[in-house]
Structure 1
Amino acid sequence: MPTPLLSRRARPLTGTLRVPGDKSISHRSLIFGGLAVGETTIAGLLEGEDVLATAAAMQAFGCAVERGADGVWRVHGRGVSGLDEPADVIDCGNAGTGARLLMGVAAQQPITTFFTGDGSLRRRPMGRVMTPLSQMGVQFVTRAGGRLPGAVIGPEVLVPIEYTLPMASAQVKSAVLLAGLGAAGETTVIEPKPTRDHTETMLRHFGAEVRVEALDGGGRRVTLVGQPELTGRPVVVPADPSSAAFPAVAALLVEGSEVTLPGVGTNPLRFGLFETLKEMGADITLANPRTEAGEPVADLIVRAGRLQGIEVPADRAPSMIDEYPILAVAAAMAEGTTVMRGLEELRVKESDRLGAMARGLADCGVRVEVAGDDLIVHGGGNGVAGGVTIPVDLDHRIAMAFLVLGMVSEEGLAIDDAAAIATSFPGFADLMNGAGAAIAPGPEAA
C-alpha cells in the first residue's frame, strides 16, 4: 500500500544531523569485500534497501556477510573469480548501481546469474553495461531493450578490452573494471568527462594496480591490471553527500536555520551540488577536513540565507547528477532564474527525473521550462503555494525533494508514496522532524 506523507511549513532547523552512509561506497565496499581474500570490516554502511539488496547478492555468490552487534559489517570474501553460481534469482530491488556493478561481478567467471528488480529498475536500460561486457565475451538474455529480468552468462575466458564510454557513467565504468578483475591483462576505460572515482579508490585500497591518466579536454583514461589478489581491508563509509543535500538545502531555505552535517564525503567528483549552492550565495562551511579510507570528508555547517539564480554548466552534471531534484527546489526559492544544462541522464534514473521535477514544480505554481535536456527554473524567492500531492513514481530523490519544498510552502505539500525513501535514506522524516520539520502521514496537502 502507498504511504503518503505531508510536509508543512517548518520551524527553524537546528542541531547536528547524521545522514546515512554513502550509497555508492556502501555498494562497493560489500562487493570488494566479497572479491577479496580474508575479512573486510565496514563501519558506517548505509543500511537502506538498495545496499541490503547488494549484501544479499554477495551472500548468494557464496560470501559470508553479517552485521555485528556493534553495527560494523563483516565480509569474508571468496577472492577474484572465486564466487559461487547463485542458486536463485538476484533481486536488486530499486538499485541501479547495485544491478550494474553486480553484472560486472557476475561476468568474471563461467557462471550464469539471473537478475531482476522492482518496477522502476525493470524499466531502466542495462544495454549500456551489456555493450562493453559483450565485447569481453559475456552473453546476455534479457527482455526487449536490454531490460531486466535477465541472465548474465560469463565466458570460459574473459577478454580484456579498451572501452570509451559513450556517456558519463560511473556505473558503466565500474562494471567494466569489476569484470576486468577476472581478465588476464589490462582493461582500460576512457571517460570523456570525469565521473565519481570511488571504484578506482577502492580498487587501490584493496590492493589492485590502477593507473589514471588525465586526457586533453578533461577526460580520463583508467587502466586496471587484471587478476590481482585483493586483500580484505577496513572501510569507513563517509556520510553520503547526495543524502546530505536534502537537509542542507532545507536549512538554506527555512529562515533562521543552522545545522551541522558531520563526516560528509567531499570527493570533488561528487561535490558539484555544494559548489553550485555556494555560487548561488549559500552559507556553507567545511569544518574539520580529513581523509578516511582514501576518501576526503568534512563536517558541513549550513546556515539559512538568500539564494540567487545562476547557470549550471553541463560539464558539472557528472559530479552532481543525483542532486538535481533538490537543486531544482533550491532554484524555485532563489531570486531570479536558474538554468541547469545537460541533464539527459536524468531521463534514465529511477524515474524520468527531468520531467518529474518540471511537472511537480509547475503544479506548485513555479514557472519552469524544459528546453531539450536543460531545466530552467524561474525562482520567486518567497516560497510556493503548495496545496497539492506530488506523484513520485518510486523515486526516493523526487520524494525527498518535494518534502523539503513543503517545508517552505504556504499550504503544505504532499507526496503520494514515501516507501522509496528507505532505499537510500531510512529515517529521513524522523531526522528532519527532530530538527524542526513538520512531516506526518497524510494523503493530501490540505
Structure 2
Amino acid sequence: MMQKYLNPKKNLTLYLVMFKYFSLIVLLTSVFIFSCKKDGDDISPSISISSPFNNQQLNGFDTLIVRGTITDNKNIKYVSVVLRNQNNINVLPIVSFEPNSPSFNLNTAYFFNDIHMPSGEYHFKISASDGENITNKFITIYYGEVAKERTGVFFYDNNGSSTSIYSLTGTNATLFKTLPGDFIGGAANSFNQQLLSVGSLSGNLTAVDVTFGDVLWEINNSSSSTPFFMHTFFNSKEIYVSLRNGEIRAYDGNGNPKFLAQAQPSFYGEEGLIHTNLFFSEQKAIGNNDRRLVLYWTASGALVQQITLFEDVLGLYSLNTNKIVLLANDKSTGNAKIQIYDIQANAKSTPFSLAASPIDDVEEISSGVYLIAQNGNLVLVNANSFSTLPYLSGVNATKIKYEVFANELYVINGNTITVYDFSSKTIKGTYSHTSTVLDLVFLFNK
C-alpha cells in the first residue's frame, strides 16, 4: 500500500496561516485588556480623621464623635467604623454608611456602652471603598473600663412552701420576689444581672431579672419523694448544682448547660471549686458519711483523680497553682480542721491546728486568709503564715459574708443581719427579719 506524504510547501503555508490567526487573537486580547485597564479605577479613596486622635484615652460609657473626611476620584460606595481589640476581634458594633458620592464628611457618635469591656489598647478601623479599591485607616486608643461597684444586697427566707427574696438597703428590707418551693441556696449573677434561687425537694433552679423581677429561665425540680438538688455554688458567670442522681451540672446566664460531670457511684456533690482547668468536688455517699474529694477536667467533665476525705468540707479555696485549702470539720470529732491538698501528689496535709470546736461557716477574705465562725466567735485563719487570730469574740453566726469593695462584713444569726466595717470592726447597721435568714448575696454592676 502506497503511503502519502504532505507537500512541504503546503505544510509551510498552513503554519503561516495559523501563526497569522494566532497573532491576530493576541493583538485583539491585548487591545481588550488595555481598554479595560484604561476604563478601570486604580485610585483608592483617601481618609483623613480628625477625631479620635492616635493614643487618645477613653473611658467606660464615653461617647466619642468619630470625625473625618473621605474622598475619591469617582464615587465612595461604602464606609465603616469599628473598634477592634489586639486580637483583631470586633468588640463594639460596626457603624456603616453608603455615601454614593465623591466625598463624604464622617461625623458619627460611637458609644462605649459595653459595661464588660476590659481596660486595654484598642484600634479603630475606618474603611472606605469605591467598589474596586479599599482604604483602611487605623487609630489606636486606650480604654479604661467601667469600675466595678456594688448595686444591691439581697437575702432569702423560706416558709416551707415558698422562697422570698428581699432587697436590703441599710437597715430596711423590701420584698423583691417570691418563688414557689423550698430553698437550699442562692446566688447573684452580676454579669447577667440575675438573682438565682435553688430548691431541693420542691423548689426549682430559677433565674430572676434584677430590674423587673421576671423569671428568665428555670430548671425544673423533677423530684417526687427525695431531694432533687443537693447543693449549689456560683463561679464567675455560671451556677453549679449537684443532683442526688450524681450529676453535677453548670448553667450559664441563659440557662444553657455548660458543664456536666458524674459523681462517684452512690455519691453526690457538695462543696465545689473551679481552680485553673480543674473542677474540685467534695462528694458524700448516699446513706452514710463517707466522703471524697474528686477532680475533673473543666473542659470535658472527665475524671482526673480522687482522694478519701475524713472531713466534712465547708469551704474549698485556691492557694497557689498546685495547692488548695480545705476548711472542714473532722467526721469523727466534729472539730475544725484546715488542710492543704497537693494536686500533683494527690495528698493532704494538716499544717497547723484550729480550736477544738466545729466551724459554722467560713468566708475567704484574701488569698490564704479566711474568717471562720466558730463557737460564738469569729477567727481569722492564715494559711500563708500557719496562724490564727481572734477577730470578734461573743459573736454568734450561722452565716458570714464579706464584701471586699465596701470592706463590709455581714454576720447572720438566725433572723438578724449585722453589718460591720471589716477594718474597724464597728457596727454599721443591724436588721431584724420576721423569719430566719437563709442566705445573703451581693449584686454588682457587672
Q: RCO greater where, 1 or 2, for CA within 8 Å and sep 6 or more? A: 1
Quick check: TM above 0.5?
Answer: no
- Select the structure of larger CA radius of gyration: 2
Using the size of structure 2 for normalisation, the TM-score is 0.28
Higher helix content, 1 or 2: 1
Higher strand content, 1 or 2: 2
